[in-house]
Amino acid sequence: MDINREYRISPSLMCMDFLEIKKQLDIFVEEKIDYLHIDIMDGHYVPNFTLGVDFCNTVYSYSNIPLDIHLMIDNPENFIDDFSLFKNSIVSIHPDVYHHPVALLQKIRDRGIKSGIAVDPYLTVEQIYYLLPYVDQITIMTVNPGYAGQRLIEGMIEKIKKLVLIIDESGYRPDIEVDGNVSWENLPSMLEAGGNVFVAGTSSIFKRGTDLREGIRRFRKILDDFKGGATEV
Ligand code: DX5
Ligand code: ZN
């Protein structure tokens, strides 16, 4: 365990209450949230539409919180410039949608922002091995991309452990993000497996009836306790 790793919460804004956006963004700022996870869906790569560049602009310019942009779209190469406007942010692509993901990841970094890949449940960690030098973050999809509120897919926790093994031998240090059904029950095993950035959606802080600030503090305590336990080892 690399005890110097940062553990981060990345709230999934597709799950937020859209009638209370400003109030929720104020809470994120007050609670010093590191990233805002923004799922961009085009109705092609996934059978759903969600948020767009204007939404990113509004949220970023109001809160100044870096964006963790998750492109679940075909032809991501056409939109990198649009999403490169947000400093200190990260743009993640699904490498299986593009013929030359190395070139696209290099282009994202050339725009001065961080690059990431989101690994669909069917892909193995070995298949993304040669992308390691070009990514700052690897997102393990623990549900099928496209919708909030789904259940953890069998075998995805094991997949996180396998990813840690190939990263350890590679010498690269990308963050490992876990995206999908990061619930209070699943979070401990996702932490143990090696995740360090967690997409918080309807399974935790945006769960119906949960107070957002309390949910964030509960989530952060689990991360802090885990990190604290790591230093005792
Ligand atoms: C799934 C999305 C996730 C999802 C996470 O395609 O990428 O961000 O919203 O939230 P829950 O906790 O509902 O799985
Ligand atoms: Zn996502």
Q: What's the average model confidence in pLDDT over 95-124?
A: 97
Give the separation between CA 50 and CA 60, rounded to whole angstroms: 17
**Distance spanning both ends of the chain, measured CA to CA:** 9
Give the separation between CA 194 and CA 175, rounded to whole angstroms: 10
CA of 80 to the centre of ligand 1 (A): 22
| Domains within the chain, CATH numbers bracketed | 8-227 (3.20.20.70)
CA distances to 57, 89, 137 from 85, rounded to whole Å, are 8, 9, 19
Q: Residue 146: CB within 6 Å of ligand 1?
A: yes
Whether this prediction's pTM lies above 0.75 is answered by yes
Give the pLDDT confidence of 192-217 residue by residue, as tens digits: 999 999 999 999 999 999 999 999 99
CA of 232 to the centre of ligand 2 (A): 32
- Tokens 């949608």 appear where? 97
Give the pLDDT confidence of 138-170 residue by residue, as tens digits: 999 999 999 999 999 999 999 999 999 999 999
At 34, list the tokens: 């590191």
Ligand closest to CA 182:
1
* pLDDT attached to residue 231: 47
Give the pLDDT confidence of 61-71 residue by residue, as tens digits: 999 999 999 99
Q: Which residues surround ligand 2, an ion (CB under 5 A)?
A: 39, 70, 179
Whether the pLDDT of residue 233 is over 90: the answer is: no
Q: Residue 148: CB within 6 Å of ligand 1?
A: yes
Percentage above 90 pLDDT, the chain: 94
Of 89, 140, 135, 97, which Cα lies nearest the Cα of 116? 135
Give the pLDDT confidence of 79-98 residue by residue, as tens digits: 999 988 899 999 999 999 99
